[in-house]
Structure 1
Amino acid sequence: MDKTDFYNLNLKTPKGDTIRMDSFKNKVVLIVNTATKCGFAPQFKGLEELHQKYKDKGLVILGFPCNQFQNQEPETNDSIEEACEINFGVSFQLTEKVDVNGINTHPVFRYLKKELGGLFGKRIKWNFTKFLISKDGTPYKRYSSFTKPSVIEKDIIKILN
């Protein structure tokens, strides 16, 4: 795969509308697998702060809700956006619930795990694993669940400029 393959991928919103990744050309994209009942859920606040600070400068944050880790995402596609807004103030784009590992791995995560294997190889170890994509669609860096959004800010600034 080359970097343009990122732009051939799609995602679906919780309401089922398709968003094409090529709509994010020339933008920096931060992709995160999220879960509202996860111990890392307070990171929603930090992600939202990054979103508010850099959305007008070319940052797009995409939250992919995932229930593969101890059932920490009990919300449905119908309730996920409202729950994230009410509980965490989230206004960045969320997707439908997805799998990030296994046979039904979402194509975005299949691609990102191939490009940025990480400490645990091709697997996603837990919720709030983050992937930063440069403006030309190149996967730039993978961050663990423990990495707070504020730590990623320096890399976002670097590749936005």
Structure 2
Amino acid sequence: MHLYDISVRAMDGTPVQLSTYAGKVLLIVNTATKCGFTPQYDELEALYKTYRELGLEILDFPCNQFKEQAPGSIEEINQFCTLNFGTTFPRFAKLEVNGEGEHPLFTFLKSQKGFAGFDPKHEKSARLTERMREADPNFEADPSIKWNFTKFLADRKGTIIARFEPTAALGDVERQIKILL
């Protein structure tokens, strides 16, 4: 399987083949509107505005699997993101990233890049690590998505180059994007 073989749903439910984005550098993110990481929307929008013309696309997939932090309809989520953060990058229908109902996109992404580790310098890393370890002492070996705002970076050919956990500095993400552009 290849990234471009996968179909996702637009906000209105219509299918979108990821091959639509062939030739673009993709940053694929699972998001939530009621999360401590939600302010990352500002940084993501800044990246998008800076690099869109050079070929970057940010694909936003709201997910309500982590403490139900993406409540509401996709329309409500879109309105929240547009009004509060001015986001203009593509947002898709809500989906699941782990478990029985996980979307094939995230099954594929996790098969390409496993858990990358929380950034020890980030203020939320210790609490996330503690929470994960309580649920699974070997959580680091499990490729599952650990929390909202996990990011996967794909090159212009659709190869998954990197995975960034929510605690990763957006400057590190930007450096990798610049290399691929």
Q: Equivalent of 2:15, from 8, 15, 18? A: 18
Q: Give the residue type in structure 1 aligned to 2:145.
A: I
Whether 1:138 and 2:170 are equivalent positions in the alignment is no
Q: Give the residue type in structure 2 aligned to 1:153.
A: E
Whether 1:158 and 2:179 are equivalent positions in the alignment is yes
Give the Å deviation of 1:54. 0.7
- Structure 1 unaligned regions, length at least 5: none
- Structure 2 unaligned regions, length at least 5: 117-139
Partner of 1:37: 34
Q: Equivalent of 2:68, from 68, 71, 79? A: 71
> 1 CA distance for matches of 2:143 and 2:102?
11
Equivalences, count: 157
> 1 CA distance for matches of 2:24 and 2:168?
22
Q: Give the residue type in structure 1 aligned to 2:72.
A: E
Q: Provide Cα deviations, 1:44-65, integer angstroms capped at 9, x if missing partner.
A: 0000001111111100000100
> What value does the CA root-mean-square deviation take over the aligned residues?
1.1
Q: Give the residue type in structure 1 aligned to 2:56.
A: L
Give the Å deviation of 1:150. 2.8
Native 8 Å contact 1:65 1:97 kept in 2: yes
Give the Å deviation of 1:18. 1.9
Partner of 2:59: 62
> 2 CA distance for matches of 1:108 and 1:115?
11
Partner of 2:131: none
Partner of 1:103: 100
Native 8 Å contact 1:69 1:127 kept in 2: yes
Moved over 4 A (4+): none
Segment drifting more, 90-99 vs 118-127? 118-127
Describe the SS at the equivalent of 1:128.
coil
Q: Provide Cα deviations, 1:80-99, integer angstroms capped at 9, x if missing partner.
A: 21111011111111111110
Q: With the length of structure 2 as denominator, give the TM-score of the two structures.
A: 0.83
Give the Å deviation of 1:100. 0.4
Whether 1:89 and 2:110 are equivalent positions in the alignment is no
Describe the SS at the equivalent of 1:96.
coil
Q: Percent identity, aligned pairs only?
A: 41
Describe the SS at the equivalent of 1:26.
coil
Q: Give the residue type in structure 1 aligned to 2:4.
A: Y
Describe the SS at the equivalent of 1:78.
helix
> 1 CA distance for matches of 2:94 and 2:20?
21
Q: Give the residue type in structure 1 aligned to 2:177.
A: I
